[in-house]
Structure 1
Amino acid sequence: MGTPDFAVASLKALVEGGYCVVGVVTMPDKPMGRHGSVLQASPVKQYAAAQGLRVLQPERLSDPAFVDELHTLRADLQIVVAFRMLPRVVWEMPRLGTFNLHASLLPQYRGAAPINWAVIHGDKETGVTTFFLRHEIDTGRIILQRRVPIAETDDAGTVHDRLMAIGAALVVETVDRIIDGDGSVETTEQESLTTDTAPLRDAPKIFRDTCHIDWCQPTERVYNFIRGLAPYPAAWTEILSADGRRMALKVFRSERIAEPHALSPGAIRTDGRRHLDVATEDGFLRLLDVQPAGKRRMTADQFLNGTDVSACCMA
């Protein structure tokens, strides 16, 4: 059960490993295009269809018709990767249970966006966890975990790709353990992994307002914020001109400049050709890759080639 590319890697590993995948559950096709006239299948559906696998796309996971159809598959085990919250009648159905692959070291970062929040908070490592489902989201007994370092130059995209591959291997290993034990496998309660020195952080869903850059923060915090949202959904700011006009600007990549200054946070320092620096609480961030509203992603020098920001600031 899954929808995005992150889930495709695990499904692909199972198919290529020779496991009997009796069915794939994914989101209904989404309307695309200007008028919503074209339906776009999820990455999981596209891969499953190419492999000739049976695909189920329920609107509601509690729909009796879907539950009956799922029951006819007689699956021994259900695997959830980047999908919706399941009703009890679904996750209790298979005899060997239902487990989830989560992109964090649970119990840290329970929620919809664990990769983004780990990078935003400047963590030095993250990981993947498999756990059996229970009613409360992301709280079930842990089966396996793998730790993965986060480099200072990583962004959410590079961490995503790394965890996607490691997570797929962990899914296969978890399946083997469950099969070998015929459902009896050693697990760990998440509460036993909590400590007073490492308070738990949640990973709530990210919305557009979440992505707005606060230039009044320290340089390091803004730097982590930008890379934690890159390449998607991307941190954004607004360029405020002297006459009050505003232009939205997404920021994908930056570098830190540790240089004291007396400028207001959000003030722009530029040579007009190559360098676009923005003042923070304690230094500058040099913007490297940006995207003005309605245009393509570009380097800072390409942006400056067509835009005069000398009398502007960031808001």
Structure 2
Amino acid sequence: MGRPVTDDDIGLKVLREPRDTDTQAAQIVDIVAIHGIGAHPDDSWCKNVGTVQTPQWANWLEKEDMLPKTAPHARIMRYGYQSQWFGKGAMRQNASTVAQRLLLALRRKREGFPFRPLLFIAHCFGGLVVLKALLDAQLDEKEWPGIFASTTGLVFFGTPFRGAEGMSQVEMLEAARREYHQDEVYTDVLKILEPGNEFLQAVVDQFGKTRRLPNKAQVACFYELKPSNVGRIVGKEDRARFVVSESSGCLDLSDSTSKFSLSRTHFNMNKFGSPTEEDFETVSDVIKSIIGASYELLAARFQCN
């Protein structure tokens, strides 16, 4: 779709309020979806269910028979940020900056109910933003009330917890610099995707320590089964490769962490067009399960305190 990200696209946008007007406040959950780099905050979740000539875009986050049906008591939101790292719309950006802006937006939107259950859905780099935001929220609970304590579920699509082996930073930069001027290419956002990056390792290791706490959030990690043409990102052909491997895309192994394969490429694993797609049915079941356990999980946490 390739639309530029405008000022109106940035920030936390409510896509749908809870469907049932009679829903008790205690039953409502917040769901927040966060896109990856080089993606539009809305288009990232869309699949063309029409034709190339006459496209029809379905956004599964707000299509009534998809996520709203899966989670009828949820307030569904998506967070948008400037994620373009090359070209005229490029911005200097990194995970810490986006995480801080996300926390500010969450605090603002959840001001009246900071301890409502919170579920994150994230694609690629967006998952690393979520981890950093949760670590910051845990470190300063007075500044960010309820955000860490109320997070009951995390759904990751191709998040490179140990780096994106199939997206070599050197290759990506060389390709981008062939297509764009030097001052139109920013490298900061790519660094965290490199296997062995110290900041990436620190964030994942620190978050791993929070997983030792009792009553931890339910985590679902989805990984790709089809290779992607990575070079196409910057306008050139390239050999197909897996961007995020199964091992890199799975956060940890525990009783509250599960992993699932999707028969998709890295760049379309977060796009669904119909509730009958098998991959969506899997995602839907996972989200239902997380929401179903959320209230009991929060009650157990507050009893411990």
Common fold, TM-score beyond 0.5?
no
Q: TM-score, normalised by structure 2?
A: 0.31
Over alpha carbons, which structure has the higher Rg? Answer: 1
- Name which structure has the greater RCO, CA cutoff 8 Å, separation 6+: 2
More strand by share: 1
Higher-helix-fraction structure = 2
